[in-house]
Amino acid sequence: MFDHPSYDHHEGVHFFEDEASGLRAIIAIHSTARGPAAGGCRMWNYETGEQALRDALRLSQGMSFKNAMADLPLGGGKAVIWGNSKTDKSKALFEAFGRAIETLNGAYYTAEDVGIDTSDIGIVASQTQYVAGLDTGAAASGDPSPTTALGIYRGIKACAARAFGSDELKDRRIAVQGVGSVGGYLCDHLAEEGAKLIIADIDQAELEAVRSRTGAEIVAPADIYDVEADIFSPNALGAIINSETLPRLKTKVIAGGANNQLATPEMGYAVKERGILYAPDYVINGGGIINVAAEISGEYSREWVIGKLDTLIDTLGRVLDEALAGDEPTHLVADRMARDRIAAAKPT
């Protein structure tokens, strides 16, 4: 465990199994320096337990950095449930997951991520108070995806301002990979401003729904890297900026909601070398956790959420400007800022 390549001084990594329901889950707590660790739960049909562990380690570190960059009083954690979200879900499984969270006594708060929806989280909440992203209850914040998408839309404009000299997106060609919850709402914002959308997804129904609302052009999932576009917006899964895909991109900006977009940190340097401005994923996609943080605080306020979103976009702008001024990759500047913020919160 301590030698795992994705291990980054995580405070705790917890493995849970419930034979009766079939639950196998990992909850990784990267840091609680700024407050309780918060981060969503992902349900994914990993090929091996090692892949599930790697995801939990990387994603929880990402949440620490994300929460720090969103200026939230939260640390970073993440849960992964190993299973098929289309066939393996049950009430018993999410109850067992809720009991697992409760054993951590508030060190970790969960919410939705890929494969998990608000009804699943509702079942989890029957067993633990350390849960957010609910659609009922006094402070319920519901699905975080619309706020995530709003932050990405505003972040794309911040990138465009620097890459093209104008944040205007009318007639800009934007390639969107993944039009699920986040990608779908994002397309609505972009289309409303008159952007020309090219979309790809493995889910035909999602594609058709977005095309009918926005007039987007559909391409095959494997072709999204090759399209002529100004901006590439990844909103599906991680590690999609890699040595195979990067040379194919013709865009000047990469800005999207997917977590852990860079397959390796070295890819951040390669992106810069190609003259592409990359919005660090955990900065630009912080809108969702801001929405969740409002719920964790005990009193949901839309005004507070929008205020934090404004600060987030300012922070993204600072990252981009510092990177451009210092000729550094943007991910490096963001990592440094995040680590500084976490270190500053540690008791001395």
Q: Distance of alpha carbon 245 from its chain centroid, rounded?
A: 20
Residue 258, C-beta contacts closer than 8 angstroms, at least 6 positions apart: 177, 178, 234, 235, 236, 237, 238, 240, 281, 285
Residue 302, C-beta contacts closer than 8 angstroms, at least 6 positions apart: none
Burial 32-63 (b: 16+ CB within 10 A, else e): bbbbbbbbbbbbbebeeeeebbbbbbbbbbbb
What is the nearest approach in angstroms of ligand NAD to the Cβ of residue 323? 21
What is the nearest approach in angstroms of ligand NAD to the Cβ of residue 16? 21
Residue number, 36 or 288, with CB nearest to ligand NAD: 288
Within residues 222-241, the interface with ligand NAD by CB under 6 A covers 235-237
If binding is defined by CB under 6 A, does position 114 make contact with ligand NAD? yes
If binding is defined by CB under 6 A, does position 324 make contact with ligand NAD? no
Out of 60, 145, 315, 330, the residue judged to bind ligand NAD by CB under 6 A: 145
Within residues 266-285, the interface with ligand NAD by CB under 6 A covers 285
Compute φ and ψ for 251, nearest 5 degrees.
-90, 165
End-to-end, the C-alpha distance of the chain in Å comes to 27
What is the nearest approach in angstroms of ligand NAD to the Cβ of residue 320? 19
- Is 78 labeled as catalytic in the residue annotation? yes
If binding is defined by CB under 6 A, does position 148 make contact with ligand NAD? yes
Out of 88, 167, 193, 206, the residue judged to bind ligand NAD by CB under 6 A: 206
Residue number, 17 or 51, with CB nearest to ligand NAD: 51
What is the nearest approach in angstroms of ligand NAD to the Cβ of residue 343? 24
Q: Are strands 12-18 and 23-31 parallel, antiparallel or unpaired?
A: antiparallel
Instruction: Judge whether 256 and 190 are in contact, CB under 8 Å.
Output: no
Cα separation, 246 vs 274, whole angstroms: 9
| Chain residues that interact with ligand NAD, rule: CB under 6 A | 113-114, 144-145, 148, 177-183, 200-203, 206, 221, 235-237, 257-259, 285, 288
Active centre residues (catalytic): 78
